Structure 1
Amino acid sequence: MAGSTLPARALGRLLAGHRERAGMTKYAAGQLVDTSQQTVARIEYGLKSRVSQLWLNVWADAYRVSADERKQMLGLAQELATSQKNWWRAYADELKPHFDYYLGLEESARGLSVWRTNLLPGLFQTAAYRRAVAWTEAPEMPADQVDKRVEMTVRRQTRLNDPDFTVDAILSKAVILEEIGGRGVMSQQLKRLAEVSRQPNVSIRIVPFDARRHLGSRVGSFAMLEFPKLPATGQTEPPVIYIESYTGDLYLEQEKDVTQYRDAFAEIGRVALDPDTTRQLLLSIAKEFEA
């Protein structure tokens, strides 16, 4: 695994299920290993990057799990212990609260479907566009701090070089018309978007203003992440819907929620321009910004 988020999430899901099946509270589970119920909750939510195998064996005994279930738990813990250090740790001071969790999911995902009504996804932003966004959010931010945020965005975009990682992005036309950073910045940004859209693992489509009615403005911007099988369990973790807002982020993984957003994405896609027409539109507007 490229990061620890996915195995941590899978392990937490298993532990919560076994604990609930055993009729035990988080407080009682914490007492077994001399820790707090808050720590147990963090483990079950997949927010801990290391989980003691001693704790897991104690819980396995208390929850009366089968030999195969114990093996799965320990296997996931081993994946956590041997996973590579997350590259974004070096940028921890520049991450908004809990965004590292999203980066872990994105790093582990095999597919990303994203609908945007405002800013471009970070995976597509040029350095100049990202810098303009940062200074809009915090006009007094020192230049070296902005540079670090730009550096993090550029580092994140190396994910697009993985042919096994697919991105299907649908953008409202408003996203490519708003002059973030000025006309020159937008011209270069749209050219970059057209270039990225030629990659075989990337699809970019625009929804024009005259498209028939659809759910895009109703549901707002969101991303859906889908994952490969985990080696320790042979199972695929459920998709996650990620909704970013100004004051905090939301993660949805209940099947009914995921289905609603998946259906909404499909409906929006039906009124979007095809990738080739989108590319022509991007280059046309880029030329207009140069005039």
Structure 2
Amino acid sequence: MAAGSTLPQRAAGRELRRLRMRAGKSQTAAGKVIEVSPQTIGRMEDGLPTKLSRVYVNALCDEYVASPAERDRLLTLAGEVEEAKKAGNGWWRSYPVEPKFDHYLGLEDAAQKLTTFQLTLLPGLLQTSEYRRDMIWVDNPAIPTAEAEQKVELAMRRQAKLDEVGFQMEVILSEAVLRHRVGGPAVMARQLRHLTEVGDRDNVSIRVIPLRADGHIGLQVGSFVLFEFPPLPSSRMIEPPVVFVEEYAGHLYLEQETEIQRYHDALDRLRRVALDEQDTRSLILEIAKEFEA
């Protein structure tokens, strides 16, 4: 798993927060123990990139009166964070990406299963280079060509995820996604035929909710991505799922159990109104022919 430090960092942060809360310590008090700011403790507990040395872990475990088993678990996670950093901490780091999208790429790279519902656009792992390029120019018409092409290259490299052993992807789309003329008719026709080719993979399921379907929960929930993860290699801990919700002015990463369950429930309801995979394929090809006419 080339996950970068995203998952072990999150697991360690969650454990450190649990121990601190149990000990009744503030983030300010914890920061004084290892001589960092309360904000740094907050970043550490949120699983964001911060130094997580054995010295820090042992000092905080002493302060929190952690058990030997709790200390060993945290030291193992700290070791996993360091190993991930030595391994390069994510191949995408050589591309210019915003910090919040960098976090998304870390989750995508680490995921064992990705489930998504989309109302308007195709998910990045299914886009052709033409489709992606047009969306980049729409988002920022003034972007330098070289930078735009770097973004296209990044999108295409991400699609190697589909070849990863054990990875699964489930996609539910509104029919509207297939009909929006991204890049024009010729680009859309090629994009839709590419979609059917990807849908033929054993590890990819693509289903469409037709526009003729009665009102469904997806119209209220909106587009989202659910990430699920394999056990961490050394500690064997399993990170809880994460739901990503993209908004124009910012992104949401949801991790609370009640939040995740609501999205699982929404997915069950979306599956009930979506076409099966064969009927979906027929609809995609029918719309592709309309674009080719």
TM > 0.5: yes
In the other structure, the counterpart of 2:182 is 180
Residue 79 of structure 2 is matched in structure 1 by 78
Structure 2 runs not aligned, ≥5 long: none
The one-letter code sitting in structure 1 at the alignment partner of 2:107 is L
Partner in structure 2 of residue 156 of structure 1: 158
Q: 1:88 aligns with which of 89, 92, 95?
A: 92
1:34 corresponds in structure 2 to: 35
Map of 2:260 onto structure 1: 258
Deviation at 1:109, TM superposition (A): 0.9
> Is residue 2:153 matched to residue 1:166?
no
2:43·2:50 contact (CA, 8 Å) conserved in 1? no
Runs ≥4 in structure 1, deviation > 2 angstroms? 231-235
TM-score, normalised on structure 1? Answer: 0.97
Whether 1:104 and 2:86 are equivalent positions in the alignment is no
Moved more, 232-241 or 212-221: 232-241
Tell me the amino acid that sits aligned with residue 129 of structure 2: A
CA distance in 2, matches of 1:232, 1:75: 7
Report the CA distance between 1:234 and its aligned residue: 2.5
Q: Structure 1: which 5+ residue stretches go unaligned? A: none
- Say yes or no: does 1:121 pair with 2:123: yes
Give 3-state SS (helix, strand or coil) of 1:230's partner.
coil
2:241 matched to 1:268?
Answer: no
How many residue pairs end up in the alignment? 289
Please give the root-mean-square deviation of Cα atoms over the aligned residues, in Å.
1.1
Contact in 1 for aligned 2:174/2:209 (Cα 8 Å): yes
1:259–1:282 distance in 2 versus 1, CA, 3 Å: same
**Secondary structure of the residue that 2:117 maps to in structure 1?**
strand
2:17 pairs with 1:16 = yes
Provide Cα deviations, 1:264-285, integer angstroms capped at 9, x if missing partner: 0110111101111111211221
Query: Residue 222 of structure 2 corresponds to which residue in structure 1?
Result: 220
Give SS of 1:98's match: helix
**Residue 257 of structure 1: how far off its partner (Å):** 0.7
Shift of 1:162: 1.2
* Aligned match for 2:203, one of 168, 180, 201: 201
Deviations 1:176-206 (A, max 9, x none): 1000010011011101110000111100000
- 1: CA distance, partners of 2:60 / 2:112: 32
Q: What is the aligned partner in structure 2 of residue 244 from structure 1? A: 246
SS of the aligned residue for 2:245 comes to strand
CA contact (8 A) 1:116 1:222 kept: yes
Question: Contact between 1:122 and 1:153, CA under 8 Å: does it hold in 2?
Answer: yes
Q: Secondary structure at the match of 2:226?
A: strand
**Equivalence for 2:54:** 53
Q: Secondary structure at the match of 1:21?
A: helix
Distance 1:89 1:45 in 2: 21
Q: Which amino acid aligns with 1:123?
A: L
Looking at structure 2, the residues matched to 50 and 101 of structure 1 have their Cα atoms a distance apart, in angstroms, of: 17
Q: 1:114-158 CA deviation, whole Å, 9 max, x = no partner?
A: 000011101111100000000000111111111000000001110
Q: How many angstroms does 1:49 deviate by?
A: 5.5
SS in 2 for 1:169: strand
| Identical-pair percentage | 47
**Aligned equivalents of 1:279, 1:112: Cα separation in 2:** 20
- Quick one: distance in 2 between partners of 1:40 and 1:88? 27
Look up the equivalent residue of 1:245 and give its one-letter code: E
Distance, in Å, in 2 between the alignment partners of 1:47 and 1:154 is: 26
Task: Give the Cα separation in 2 of the matches to 1:212 and 1:190.
Answer: 24
2:182 is paired with a residue whose SS is coil
Paired with 1:107 and 1:50, the residues of 2 have a C-alpha distance of: 22
User: Residue 138 of structure 2 corresponds to which residue in structure 1?
Assistant: 136
